[in-house]
Amino acid sequence: MKSNVVYFQDLRNVGISTTDIRGALDCCLKKLSRGVYSVIRRCNVSSHQRFSVFATDIAWLEQHEAGLTREPDQARRYEEHLKRLQIIHYPHFRPDDIVCGVSAARLHRIGMFNEPDQPVSVFHPAASTRTSELVRRRRTIAAEDICTVAGLRVTTPVRTALDLRSELGNAAGFAAMEQVLRRRMLGGDEDLIFRLGYPPTLLGDVPQMQIDLFLEPIIRLAKGKKVASTLARLASPLSESYAESRAAFNLHLLGLSDFAQQIEILDGGRLLTRLDFLLREDQVALYVDGSQKYVDGGFDLMNKESRQHNRLLAMGYKVVRFKFNEVQSPKQFGEKLFHQAPELRGRCRNRLVR
């Protein structure tokens, strides 16, 4: 029983009263949604002893008992996991429901930022309803755009990314499309990708993969085909994070599409650093810092990057470093970039419409 999920009726069937359930909340029981709970601790309270029969996922218990879910580097992942559990174990799906939008993105583990904390989203071919826990929209989805996740019918990762564009905007949709493209071409094991490096033929394979992956799902869209096609053509498998995808989107918005990603810089035959982005003509190097980067790396990482920065300057590069919040705002991103590298203004061509 993964994550010790249990339903109200299961608890009642073993003689646990409604009063006991209420008393156990935030003690050894966590409410996921109406009538759906998770046993999160082994409890010494006598009236809570019967919950232990549902506590078979020991790792889940230990995570809570050790307080790991409250640690800053774990909290976001924990909240994301809870949201997935809420979707997977929602008890009132209809047979023809198809999980979609933000809910589908959570099931596919497509990275988002500040996504709305909304009810479960589903498409249905004939019904449209709304409750505090589920929004059902009337829409017919082609069988090719449906897959199965945890026993649920869900829009495919590609279709989900395309739907996010209409729900959350072009920037979020573009980031989702890049993640889907990256996983299809390189797999989902980021540690393995880091160890093996990028295949030498990767960029040559991208145009055909963009067509294979996105063309037909875009044709099946009811609207937004032109913008979706443009974003699909610009998507790259080289963005290593949501923040880098947002930075790439900003560069396209500014008309600076002639950039390279993940460029290794050698110094005396030894690897000095790898740049997130490089505008080669003007030797402008861009770094995008994730929100957790220095928490994990500490002062050693900061000192290392300071040395790399100084060496890059000595080699003739201009270095612009963006914080996570700066790439979320195209206006702020552009102002900082052109303030530090004003020569780039003259290279803006074919700006992407927001």
Q: What is the pLDDT of residues 86-133, one digit of tens each?
A: 999 999 999 999 999 999 999 999 999 988 788 999 999 999 999 999
pLDDT above 50 (res 294): no
Residues 183-240 pLDDT 10s: 999 999 999 999 999 999 999 999 999 999 999 999 999 999 999 999 999 999 999 9
| Residue with the two structure tokens 């030498």 | 200
Distance CA 268, CA 281 (A): 22
Which ranges of the chain would DSSP assign to H, the alpha helix? 8-13, 18-24, 58-65, 72-88, 101-107, 157-168, 170-186, 190-196, 202-219, 225-234, 242-254, 293-314, 324-327, 330-340
The mean pLDDT of 294-305, rounded to a whole number, is 51
Cα dist from 143 to 124, 159, 181, whole Å: 13, 11, 21
Cα dist from 221 to 139, 148, 161, 302, whole Å: 11, 20, 12, 46
Distance CA 223, CA 87 (A): 27
Domains and CATH numbers, the chain: 2-86 (no CATH), 92-226 (no CATH), 239-347 (3.40.960.10)
> Which of 303 and 21 is assigned the larger pLDDT?
21
**Contact call for residues 60 and 4 (beta carbons, < 8 A):** yes
| Residue with the two structure tokens 């032109």 | 226
Cα dist from 318 to 282, 283, 335, whole Å: 8, 6, 16
The token pair that represents 86 in the structure block: 């809420």
End-to-end CA distance of the chain: 45
The whole-model pTM stands at 0.91
